[in-house]
Amino acid sequence: MGIFSTLVAASAVADVVIAQRVIPVGFSKPTARLPALHRRGGTYSQELNNNLTGGGYYAQVTVGTPPQTVDLIVDTGSSDVWILDSNANLCHSKTMQSRYGYCLSTYDSSNSSTYSVVSQDAFSIRYVDGSGAEGDYIKDNFSIGGADIKALQMGLAENSTINSGLLGIGFAANVAAETPYPNIMDLFQNQDLIAIQAYSLYLDDLYAATGTILFGGLDTEKFIGELKTVDIQPDRYGNYSSFTVTLSSLTTTADNGTVANYTTRSAVPVILDSGTTLTYVPSSIANRIFRAFGAVDDTSGTGLVFISCDYLDDNKNLTFDFQFGGKDGPVIRVPVDEMVLNNVQEYVELGLDVPSMPFDNVCSFGLQPNSDYYLLGDTFLRSAYVVYDLTNKQIGLAQANLNSTKSNILEITQESGIPDASGVASQVTAEQTATGLPGTGNSNGGQSATTTGSSSTPSGQSSGNAGARAVSAPSWEALAVTAITGLFGLMGVGLVVL
């Protein structure tokens, strides 16, 4: 596996209104690491680092006194924050590192005056791909996006098959501990850092080095048209433990008007999970899509679905259209080239034996079948602007305004919940210059992007120089105009197996 390098420096979110309780947290992109090849009152903003090929998005935080810098995978599909111990087995075993990668960053409890043990050997977590970590539950001070959280309970992993800790930001009911405890989202609110337990996620497109998560707020410059809400669905026991919403339909649309419908008879419960690289849908849907696109399902062998790289040069503006919550619900359009990953050659260099294919230029497909759970991971989320409201059990969805360089941040308050907000009229006008293919080299994932402006085009139309990822909003957004991130096995670590 590849070695993580220093995270790419990323620009800060501009024009944050300090009076609001909104925490901007950025994430950015380390060098690529391929997933394993087997099944498996203010606003605070954090920038997120995009691991382009592996699909991980990383937030840089600090832990302890004095603060120690740690990089964590942002995971909406789990609820524990956990960090790697400086003496973790993975960090000192060359054999393990050859399989799972070098430790990205670690924490040394002996160097923190505010460290305390909550429960020895009580932390144990496994993810759907079989990866996991175990150790103690501890408490220490934790800082993210300028917000200082006192005495956060975290897992301290002494044994791990994951080379980075995780920032689990789901419901507290889903923590790995036998007895639930106040997790990071609880403490954000309990310590009066944000008004309610809510945040918004903006990953930006496949080529973007950075994205942003806003704790306690949303940014109207980062989405197109109307922000529509859908209800989070409880689990079979009536508890809210994951960000499950109903997928009403899945279609493909081309600019020539051709539409193919892959909808099942009933709505499909899907989990919105930033800790998962790919998108997993029912086999009945996936198989029909594979036939339509000439894709080859080899998940039982290599763990991949193969597809022609010709779709990266799509000239029909072909999109996968996901609709949620019924016929009047939000629609997110995902360009086909966001679903096609040019990473197979890297797998080959690592020893992958690609079976014979009916096409010469082989890529992997960012959509796979599953019979146990349905996850919309990063190949979907990059096209969406998502607001997670844990307090009111709602999700807000809108088309992402890709490559946006502006900000207009609104606080999410106890009274309003997710506000009736509208974003920009249409996709930002941007010109991208690709200097390589996804996952093929430099610390930016082999890509560079240059934004030449942010002027608007008429709603529902694409601009001539908007680039391949300039996707206009669905037609139902046309009148809503007003003038911020599985890395392993199953290619995702988000869904916890308890």
What would the pLDDT profile of 215-259 be if each residue is shown by its tens digit? 999 999 999 999 999 999 999 999 999 999 999 999 999 988 888
Longest dimension (CA), the chain: 64
**pLDDT at position 444:** 32
Co-location of 266 and 406 in the same domain: yes
In a domain, 387, yes or no: yes
In a domain, 15, yes or no: no
Co-location of 77 and 121 in the same domain: yes
**pLDDT at position 43:** 56
* C-alpha to C-alpha distance for 247 and 327, rounded to whole angstroms: 10
Catalytic annotation on 297? no
**pLDDT at position 312:** 92
In a domain, 219, yes or no: no
Co-location of 46 and 124 in the same domain: yes
Catalytic annotation on 129? no
Co-location of 175 and 257 in the same domain: no
Total of domains in the chain:
2
Helix ranges restricted to H, 302-385: 344-349, 378-381
**pLDDT at position 51:** 42
Co-location of 405 and 353 in the same domain: yes
In a domain, 16, yes or no: no
- The counts of H helices and E strands in the chain are 5, 29
* Residue from 75, 186, 219, 378 carrying the catalytic annotation: 75
In a domain, 98, yes or no: yes
Co-location of 162 and 279 in the same domain: no
In a domain, 10, yes or no: no
- pTM check: above 0.85: no
> What range defines the domain where residue 275 resides?
224-489
Average pLDDT per block of 10 residues along the chain, 498 residues long: 27 41 78 40 51 64 98 94 97 92 94 98 89 96 96 98 94 94 98 96 88 95 96 94 96 88 91 92 95 95 94 87 95 95 88 92 95 92 97 97 93 89 79 32 31 32 33 32 25 46
**pLDDT at position 391:** 97
CATH number at residue 251: 2.40.70.10
Closest to 162 in 3D by CA, of 496, 443, 486: 486
Co-location of 188 and 332 in the same domain: no
* Residue from 136, 205, 219, 273 carrying the catalytic annotation: 273
Co-location of 402 and 453 in the same domain: yes
In a domain, 14, yes or no: no
**pLDDT at position 28:** 65
Co-location of 127 and 273 in the same domain: no
In a domain, 440, yes or no: yes
Partners of 245 in the β-ladder: 270
**pLDDT at position 18:** 40
**pLDDT at position 11:** 31
Co-location of 261 and 148 in the same domain: no
Last residue of a domain, one of 200, 216, 240: 200
Co-location of 171 and 235 in the same domain: no
Last residue of a domain, one of 147, 167, 200: 200
Co-location of 354 and 426 in the same domain: yes
Closest to 353 in 3D by CA, of 294, 303, 278, 279: 303
The rounded radius of gyration (Å) of the Cα atoms in the chain is 21
